[in-house]
């Protein structure tokens, strides 16, 4: 009787159980997605941009060489707006002065914090309200029954009305209602993204409600409310999280737009990129760089969020998973 | 056969899905008659196979039987308890005794749950096994029964192969100790060489645990292999029901004959010899089924009388039940098949397509 | 000379940060004019990728490498530039896909899609093209073809769509038709219609047909020659009858034994192949099927088995093939089997792979897949563990 040598047998056994060769513990979907994220160059570029941005926004203001409201250029007499004199970059002032003689570099760094704050808070407002409405509507639609359909229809008609208003118009009216301030900008930008989150979560939940594992849970005898919370909701969150990342980018741009229109913080003591951009337009003939700095900063930050968001979408897409 | 032998009895079951139109206000413009009057009974410890093509309502019947889709009319009694009239709390308790296995093992497992959590959920819901250790013991036994290793517990569904996933699905059903298992296309998503493993596992579990199965599949060979009794469905109704062996040797309904002759057999000698009945055209829309015998538009034996205007009921011929006016005459060869010209079946007025109808896309309802 | 001669075709996908995937790993087969050739295998065996590579339809992406040769009537299809390949495609070689809905353009009427082919390859225009298109639809059994021409793909049923697609494929009387799982998405009664149609078309026109499928039943009814694929290589080639009557490669044997047959009795246990299709041994390290094989011997691992040629164009890639029926297995042949099965048993005990050998009842199961020709030596499974 032939006996297969131990070594060869081991080899076959090893190859025959490919699955068992992997790590001891299972890899959850989130871990799996994170792994794929790390392999995606776009995600890395996005993450690096954002890391720098967040670092600057959080610790930067403690290390700026000049106060953001210090009109040093006027004091020293180098900035004379009347004569069209706003000096550019120098060794002391890396990005030069603005029209009030303030150090632009310091203002950019301090402005990063405001910009991040606006973006995050606005997105949070949108996410919280949108997810609440969408989640309730989605759960109600999934639970079925006449009441469920009624709740779903009512909520979604409300969202449709929000969606029917042009976003900028909505933001402008909110800002006009509350008076121009940073809070106004955050609420306005947040409200604009509410319908997006609500529709997304509801749609995603309805798709999940129709899936076989929900049917399986029902046939196990699990309560509807538990199914909605334990199965449907967690599985519907991925697109919402991706959308939140992408919304951060648009929120920053929209906040800048609102500030640019004069609906932002009227007090220019706290610099903000959008306001800086708005202020710079007066002097664009004398020194266009004043507009370019905040514009480029806004674009790069938004790009960072978009890159990361798109990469996350790819990583979380079940169709691309093998 | 005494009454206590029968575990499940379905009487005149109907499931109609409304077709809704309208932007603001839903208007019901018609009904898709997915299941339209089915009677059947399943005996304890046996396998009832339900076969038919897509859109015939077999999956809907399985779900309606388990009350996962609310039936429009009719009765389903499970071990003497009438399920259609049961309060939702009592129904949930009953669910422990009747479980389901799904076609696509990937989509029927929550991708964010690991195997342990998948198997624990049902036990927790019904308070089986007492504490954590008790549940662990039950889960471990179940894993052994379905042939999954222990290390599977901490893994997630996407880390398994198709066959293993289906074993997880079977384990989830089995862990509650059910009496009835409804298996909806349990092997059709699997590779050929894996199908046999799962079929054998189902067979073996039935032998060891005395389970009762309702197996729903489009593959007649699989259904015949696994079932004691086979029911053939066409457009929402049973056209023939017979013991598994008899169905093959003596198919009585013309549709059964056509179906049987269309299934390819992996044997050139058989393939070259056998008679082939090619049906003309496609399945009519269940939203607008033909009057009379539903098969008469495609039936090669259709007669000018009765077929087009009188809907045949299931009647007993020998050990079989068949819904055909002319079954005896066809069996004896008195009636000969004739050519039927294909009619294009256009997705009826409302644009519903036959193939899509069995899974209505109305939003939600995880009933 | 063969019409299509595929020689050592290989397709690899290399993606940065991931393991290189060898989807096709040295596939060779040939198709004679007017012949129906089957490529059979399970998911991941490379059958579809093979056809796409021959047609030059693989998505162009960095890391894709196609090797080997595919000689069609003297020209190597793999070396052609895009332009001449497009000319051959549709005119000399046509393809039918599994999903007819996604192969048809949803916003263009059927008629326009058919006439487009006629215009491009046969230079027909206007009324002549429309008339020919209607005739084509009629030929593939679409009733009332004149009206159908104006309709959109979603207005047709699945079977009719597949017929429309076949009409487009045969519009230019190609010499070779490649059908990739043409009936998998269809119901059995519709499948029977489509298979019958394909048979008629090739018989009537002398077109050669390459039939790609996972369904052994379809192969048994249609193909003249059958190639069984596993792990990206052809493991057995034979004419239809010999293959089903006396399969030699253990994988073919296993496949035949594991499908339930309509004409078999109830209650016989099936004889599945243990393990799953993921349990592959890379070909350079031995026989890819070895991890699942019940006839495995020592020599299966180490280097890939050579192709064994026997009479009548038959070949298999195995060093311990299933014995021919009627030949009493010698002790030499029997002992490796026993050794293999003892190993399989040991393996299932210590690896506890989930798809591991499902218990099988020995003797009577052996007859489950026995065709009329005689007892098929089914792989001997270990006793219930």
CA closest to A3 among chain C residues? C339
Q: What is the mean pLDDT of residues A89-114?
A: 78
pLDDT at B358: 33
Angle at CA A237, nearest 5°, toward A236 and A239?
90
Residues B75 and B122 in one domain: yes
d(C-alpha B60, C-alpha B14), whole Å: 10
Distance from CA of A217 to the nearest CA of C (A): 23
CATH of region A29-316: 1.10.3720.10
Give residue ranges of C with CB < 8 Å to any A CB. 16-18, 275, 278-281, 285, 290-292, 296-298, 301-302, 335-336, 338-339, 343, 347, 350-351, 353-354
What is the b/e burial string over B247-271, where b = at least 16 CB atoms within 10 angstroms of the residue's CB?
bbebbbbbbbbbbbbbbbbbbbebb
Q: What is the mean pLDDT of residues A66-89?
A: 71
Give SS3 for C31: strand
Q: Where are the strands (E) in C73-174, listed by range?
A: 75-76, 93-96
Residue B18 lies in a domain: yes
B325 at C interface, C-beta within 8 A? no
**Using one digit for the tens of pLDDT, what is the confidence trace for A261-319?**
777 766 666 788 877 887 777 777 777 878 888 888 888 888 888 888 888 877 876 55
User: Could you say which DSSP state residue C330 is in?
Assistant: P
**Using one digit for the tens of pLDDT, what is the confidence trace for B248-262?**
888 999 999 999 888
* C353 neighbourhood in chain B, CB within 8 Å: 149
* A145 neighbourhood in chain B, CB within 8 Å: 365
Residues B217 and B148 in one domain: yes
Q: Which two tokens stand for residue A120?
A: 């995050």
A20·C292 Cβ contact <8 A: no
Segment 173-212 of chain B within 8 Å of chain C by CB? 191-197, 199-201, 203-204
d(C-alpha C2, C-alpha C29), whole Å: 10
A13·C351 Cβ contact <8 A: yes
B268 at C interface, C-beta within 8 A? yes
pLDDT at C376: 32
A227·B121 Cβ contact <8 A: no
pLDDT for B263 beyond 50: yes
H/E run at residue C37 = strand C36-40
Residue B351 lies in a domain: no
Domain count, chain B: 2
Which range of residues forms the domain containing residue B27?
6-227
**Using one digit for the tens of pLDDT, what is the confidence trace for A15-35?**
444 434 444 456 777 777 788
**Using one digit for the tens of pLDDT, what is the confidence trace for B35-79?**
999 999 999 999 999 999 888 899 999 999 999 989 999 999 999
Q: What residue ranges do the domains of chain A occupy?
A: 29-316
- Residue B161 CB contacts under 8 Å (≥ 6 apart), including other chains: A19, B194, C276, C277, C278, C354, C355
Residues B220 and B254 in one domain: no
Q: A169 phi and psi, to 5 degrees?
A: -60, -45
Interface test with B, best of A212, A224, A234 (most B CBs within 10 A): A212
CA C380 from chain center: how many Å?
A: 26
Angle at CA A305, nearest 5°, toward A304 and A306?
90
Instruction: Report CA-CA distances (Å) from B367 to A149, B55, B109, B358.
Output: 13, 21, 18, 17
Residue B1 lies in a domain: no
Residue B350 lies in a domain: no
Helix axes A233-260, A104-143, angle to 10 degrees: 140
Residue B342 lies in a domain: no
Query: Contact at 8 Å (CB) between C281 and C257?
Result: no
Residue B237 lies in a domain: no
Say what the pTM is.
Answer: 0.81
For residues C250, C253, C254, C260, the Cα torsion angle rounded to the nearest 10 degrees is: 180
Q: What is the mean pLDDT of residues A226-231?
A: 89
pLDDT at B343: 60
Q: C306 phi and psi, to 5 degrees?
A: -80, 160
Regarding an ipTM greater than 0.85, the answer is no
Q: Give Rg (Cα) of chain A.
A: 26
d(C-alpha B360, C-alpha B363), whole Å: 9
| Tokens 């499931």 belong to residue | B15
CA closest to B362 among chain A residues? A210
pLDDT at B166: 93
d(C-alpha A204, C-alpha A138), whole Å: 8
**Using one digit for the tens of pLDDT, what is the confidence trace for B196-220?**
999 999 999 999 999 999 999 998 8
Extract the residue ranges of chain C whose pLDDT is less than 50. Answer: 328-385
Write down the mean pLDDT value for chain C. Answer: 79
Query: Of B263, A213, B36, which Cα lies nearest the Cα of C221?
Result: B263
DSSP string spanning C251-303?
HHHHHHHHS--TTSPTTPPP-PPSS-TT----GGGB-TTGGG-SS--GGGBSS
Query: Contact at 8 Å (CB) between B55 and B355?
Result: yes
pLDDT at B25: 64
**Using one digit for the tens of pLDDT, what is the confidence trace for C314-324?**
899 998 888 87
For residues A281, A285, A288, A294, the Cα torsion angle rounded to the nearest 10 degrees is: -10
pLDDT at C267: 61
Residues B20 and B79 in one domain: yes
Q: Which two tokens stand for residue C382?
A: 């270990």
**pLDDT class for B367, splitting at 50, 70, 90?**
very low
Residue B279 lies in a domain: yes
Residue B274 lies in a domain: yes
Residues B214 and B120 in one domain: yes
Residues B26 and B115 in one domain: yes
CA closest to B181 among chain A residues? A219
pLDDT at A1: 34
Q: Which two tokens stand for residue A306?
A: 């978009």
Interface test with C, best of B170, B196, B232, B243 (most C CBs within 10 A): B196
CATH of the domain at B26: 3.40.50.300
């Amino acid at each position: 009787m032939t006996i297969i040598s131990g070594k060869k047998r081991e080899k076959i056994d090893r190859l025959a159980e490919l699955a068992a060769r992997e790590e001891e513990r299972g890899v959850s979907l989130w871990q799996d997605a994170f792994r794929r994220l790390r392999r995606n160059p776009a995600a890395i570029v996005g993450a690096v941009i954002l890391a720098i941005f967040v670092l600057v926004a959080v610790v930067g203001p403690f290390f700026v060489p000049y106060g953001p409201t210090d009109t040093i250029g006027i004091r020293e007499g180098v900035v004379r707006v009347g004569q069209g004199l706003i000096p550019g970059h120098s060794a002391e002032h890396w990005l030069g002065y603005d029209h009030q003689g303030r150090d632009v570099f310091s203002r950019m760094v301090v402005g990063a914090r405001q910009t991040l704050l606006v973006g995050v808070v606005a997105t949070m407002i949108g996410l919280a309200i949108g997810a609440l409405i969408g989640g309730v509507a989605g759960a109600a639609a999934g639970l079925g029954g006449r009441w469920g359909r009624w709740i779903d229809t009512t909520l979604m008609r409300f969202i449709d009305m929000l969606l029917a208003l042009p976003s900028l118009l909505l933001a402008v009216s909110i800002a006009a209602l509350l008076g121009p301030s940073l809070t106004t900008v955050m609420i306005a930008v947040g409200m604009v993204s509410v319908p997006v989150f609500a529709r997304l979560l509801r749609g995603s939940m309805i798709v999940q409600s129709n899936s076989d594992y929900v049917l399986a849970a029902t046939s196990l005898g699990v309560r509807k409310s538990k199914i909605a919370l334990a199965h449907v909701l967690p599985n519907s969150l991925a697109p919402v999280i991706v959308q939140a990342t992408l919304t951060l980018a648009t929120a920053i741009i929209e906040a800048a737009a609102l500030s640019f229109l004069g609906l932002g913080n009227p007090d220019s003591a706290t610099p903000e990129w959008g306001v800086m951009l708005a202020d710079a337009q007066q002097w664009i003939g004398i020194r266009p760089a004043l507009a370019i700095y905040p514009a480029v900063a806004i674009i790069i930050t938004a790009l960072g969020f978009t890159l990361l968001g798109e990469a996350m979408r790819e990583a979380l897409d079940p169709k691309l998973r093998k | 056969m005494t009454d206590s032998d029968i575990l499940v009895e379905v009487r005149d079951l109907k499931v109609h899905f409304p077709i809704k139109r309208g932007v603001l206000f839903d208007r019901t413009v018609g009904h898709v008659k997915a299941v339209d009057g089915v009677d059947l009974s399943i005996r304890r410890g046996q396998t009832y196979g339900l076969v038919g093509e897509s859109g015939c309502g077999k999956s809907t019947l399985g779900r309606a039987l388990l009350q996962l889709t609310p039936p429009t009319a009719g009765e389903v009694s499970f071990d003497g308890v009438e399920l259609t009239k049961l309060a939702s709390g009592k129904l949930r308790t009953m669910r422990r005794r009747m479980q389901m296995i799904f076609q696509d093992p990937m989509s029927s497992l929550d991708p964010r749950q690991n195997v342990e959590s998948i198997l624990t959920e049902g036990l927790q819901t019904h308070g089986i096994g007492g504490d954590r250790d008790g549940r662990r013991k039950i889960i471990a036994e179940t894993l052994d029964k379905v042939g999954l290793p222990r290390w599977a517990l901490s893994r997630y569904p996407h880390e398994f192969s198709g066959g293993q996933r289906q074993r997880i699905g079977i384990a989830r059903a089995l862990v509650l100790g059910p009496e009835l298992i409804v298996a909806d296309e349990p092997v059709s998503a699997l590779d050929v060489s894996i199908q046999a493993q799962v079929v054998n596992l189902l067979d073996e579990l039935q032998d060891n645990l005395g389970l009762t199965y309702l197996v729903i599949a489009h593959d007649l060979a699989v259904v015949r292999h696994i079932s004691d009794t086979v029911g053939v469905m066409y457009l929402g109704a049973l056209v023939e029901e017979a013991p598994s062996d008899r169905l093959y040797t003596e198919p009585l309904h013309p549709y059964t004959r056509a179906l049987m002759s269309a299934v390819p057999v992996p044997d050139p000698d058989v393939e070259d010899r056998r008679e082939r009945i090619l049906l003309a055209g496609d399945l009519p829309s269940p939203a607008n089924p033909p009057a009379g015998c539903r098969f008469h538009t495609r039936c090669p034996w259709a007669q000018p009388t009765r077929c087009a205007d009188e809907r045949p009921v299931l009647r007993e011929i020998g050990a079989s039940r068949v819904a055909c006016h002319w079954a005896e005459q066809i069996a004896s060869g008195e009636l000969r098949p004739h050519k039927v010209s294909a009619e294009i079946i256009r997705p009826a007025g409302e644009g519903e397509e036959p193939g899509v109808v069995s899974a209505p896309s109305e939003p939600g309802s995880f009933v | 000379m063969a019409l299509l001669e595929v020689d050592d075709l290989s397709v690899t996908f290399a993606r940065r940060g991931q393991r290189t995937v060898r989807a096709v790993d040295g596939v060779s087969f040939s198709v004679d004019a007017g012949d129906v050739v089957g490529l059979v295998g399970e998911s991941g065996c490379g059958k579809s990728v093979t056809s796409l590579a021959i047609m030059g339809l693989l998505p162009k992406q960095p890391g894709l490498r196609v090797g080997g040769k595919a000689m069609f009537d003297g020209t190597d299809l793999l070396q052609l530039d895009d332009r001449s390949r497009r000319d051959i495609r549709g005119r000399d070689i046509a393809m039918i896909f599994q999903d007819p809905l996604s192969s048809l353009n949803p916003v263009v009427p059927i008629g326009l899609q058919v006439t487009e082919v006629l215009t491009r390859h046969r230079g027909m225009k206007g009324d002549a093209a429309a008339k020919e298109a209607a005739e084509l639809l009629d030929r593939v059994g679409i009733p009332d073809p004149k009206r159908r021409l104006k309709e959109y793909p979603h207005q047709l049923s699945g079977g009719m769509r597949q017929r429309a697609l076949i009409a487009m494929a045969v519009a230019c009387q190609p010499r070779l038709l490649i059908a990739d799982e043409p009936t998998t998405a269809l119901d059995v009664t519709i499948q029977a219609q489509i298979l019958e149609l394909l048979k008629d078309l090739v018989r009537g026109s002398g077109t050669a047909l390459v039939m790609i499928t996972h369904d052994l039943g379809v192969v048994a009814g249609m193909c003249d020659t059958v190639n069984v694929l596993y792990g990206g290589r052809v493991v057995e080639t034979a004419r239809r009858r010999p293959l089903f009557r006396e399969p030699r490669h253990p994988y073919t044997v296993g496949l035949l034994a594991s499908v339930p047959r309509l004409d078999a009795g109830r209650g016989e246990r099936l004889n599945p192949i243990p393990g799953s299709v993921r349990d592959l041994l890379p070909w350079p390290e031995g026989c890819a099927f070895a991890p699942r094989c019940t006839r495995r011997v020592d020599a299966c691992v180490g280097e890939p088995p050579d192709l064994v040629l026997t009479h009548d164009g038959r070949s298999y890639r195995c060093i311990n093939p299933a014995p021919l029926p009627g030949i009493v297995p010698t002790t030499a042949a029997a002992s490796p089997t026993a050794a293999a099965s003892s190993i399989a048993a040991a393996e299932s005990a210590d690896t506890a792979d989930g798809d591991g050998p499902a218990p099988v009842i020995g003797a009577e199961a052996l007859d489950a897949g026995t065709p009329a020709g005689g007892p098929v030596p089914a792989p001997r499974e270990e006793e219930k563990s």
